[in-house]
Chain A
């Protein structure tokens, strides 16, 4: 079954690249607007060989990790307070729903004014664009905890931060995981979007350089890299955590 899926996927991607190659060879569109897979691969090798690519990936990932860490910690904290204190939910909770509807890039002007053209600004955009997804997932998760878990824990002396760390967070984890996944997806979009608009480093910046130089191969190549990193983080890191949690809870 699993092997079968893999074979199908290999055939699919080989077919796509072949069609892409054929279309580019027909010259329906000029080569400076529609590069061939070979051009893109060549560009990837070139940017990789002088280290630009890896430096770009590293910079973007570092910003992502810092921004997402802030988003997850702050998001969870706010979510727990919203779930446990009704007044917080009624007041800040309504604001969170509004803030969640603001796309990451819409924070960019504010970030530039507050932080200037710095890493801090990019991290701000990344964090704020993803934290509310984590908050909402945490809120839902904590609200859905079997109340007997909380009562039993309180009965055994857990309170305050102990209750949060040892009961609320682990009990809400199946929900939190989906919040983290969503948060990461928003954060990745946020990093690239912000870098595109005001950075001198990172994948978003390389994408912008490609545009400025009219280097369509580079634009294609960097987009491909952004996508592959996305698939890798989703499919490797989050899948692993998810499987582990599900197995431990006996949900699989």
Chain B
């Protein structure tokens, strides 16, 4: 079943005086429960595409259909995890995780019950009463993921969430992310510039071309899980994606 569909998405950036075409006729169908990774040269507009799906930006042309209905604004069924987490520094970890529930008017007792489940899942229980500045970058991203999962969204949108992590922490989270995906059966759209990351995580990898970007190719990855960064069998797929990507990066 198609969960999300992008139809002929066109988006311009306004750069002072001139308009820059960022996305040019992006079409993409995402099935329910898919884990799709978007890769592309930096500045190609893949993050913008993600923000359009989230409803934080509107396309100049085309539309996003969620369960067949056009997306016009943000919604709790599509939750975005930001690159730097965007955690609220004035709230403790647990209150950060419960934020969406509080906005929805869920009672304090019920909130604590739900947040506990996700704090456990992300191994954050010990840090429930910490403030965010007391956490490492990796821990912050765990909180950001827990905060998104608490909303129980149909689609989890992730904008280079592991880009700022050290390699060890990232490898650990790459494994955990696969487990979370399996356990929660969420549809995940994951933007990254790291091809290894994309092949480890994705059931599919969509390759964006240089600006004005469109989807150049979609690669299916049918390989056992949990995958690891050092899995040799993923190398050929990574090479294939890189060979598609390299000419685009050169153009940018």
A interface vs B, CB < 8 Å? Answer: 146, 148-149, 151-158, 162, 166-167, 170-171, 173, 248-250
Residue among B74, B79, B102, B151 facing the most chain A CB atoms (10 A cut-off): B74
Cβ-defined contact, B103 with A156, below 8 A: yes
> When the two chains form their complex, are residues B102 and A250 in contact, meaning their CB atoms are under 8 A apart?
no
Q: Within 8 Å CB of B78, what residues of A?
A: 155
Q: When A166-B103, A250-B131, A250-B133 are in contact, do A155 and B80 touch as well, CB less than 8 Å?
A: yes
B171: A residues at CB distance < 8 A: none
Q: Which residues of B contact A250 (CB under 8 A)?
A: 89, 131-134
Top 3 nearest A-B pairs by Cβ distance?
A250-B133, A156-B100, A148-B86
Asked whether, in the complex, the Cβ of A249 is within 8 Å of the Cβ of B133, the reply is yes
Count of A-B contacts judged by CB separation below 8 Å: 64
29 contacts between A and B (CB under 8 A): A146-B86, A148-B82, A149-B88, A151-B82, A153-B103, A155-B55, A155-B56, A155-B79, A155-B80, A156-B76, A156-B79, A156-B99, A156-B100, A156-B103, A156-B147, A157-B100, A158-B103, A166-B103, A167-B88, A170-B88, A170-B90, A248-B90, A248-B131, A249-B90, A249-B131, A250-B89, A250-B131, A250-B133, A250-B134
Given A157-B100, A248-B131, A171 contacting B151 (CB threshold 8 A): no
* A250→B89 CA distance, assembly (Å): 8
Residue among B54, B55, B56, B147 facing the most chain A CB atoms (10 A cut-off)? B56
- Indicate if B34 sits at the interface (CB-CB under 8 A): no
Q: B104 on the interface (CB 8 Å rule)?
A: yes
> In the complex, are the beta carbons of A166 and B80 less than 8 A apart?
no
A148 surroundings in chain B (CB, below 8 A): 82, 84, 86
A171 close to B90 (CB less than 8 A): yes
Q: Which residues of A contact B100 (CB under 8 A)?
A: 156-157
CB distance from A5 to the nearest CB of B (A): 28
B74 to chain A, nearest CB (A): 5
Separation in Å of the A164 CB from the closest CB of chain B? 12
Measured between C-beta atoms, what is the minimum distance from A76 to chain B in Å? 16
Within the assembled complex, what's the spacing in Å between the Cα atoms of A156 and B82? 13
Assess the B74–A248 pair: CB atoms within 8 A.
no
CB distance from A177 to the nearest CB of B (A): 12
Best-buried of A153, A157, A248, A249 by chain B (most CB within 10 Å): A157
Out of A152, A153, A155, A249, which one reaches B89, CB within 8 Å?
Answer: A249
Point out the residues of chain B lying under 8 angstroms from A153, CB to CB: 88, 99, 103
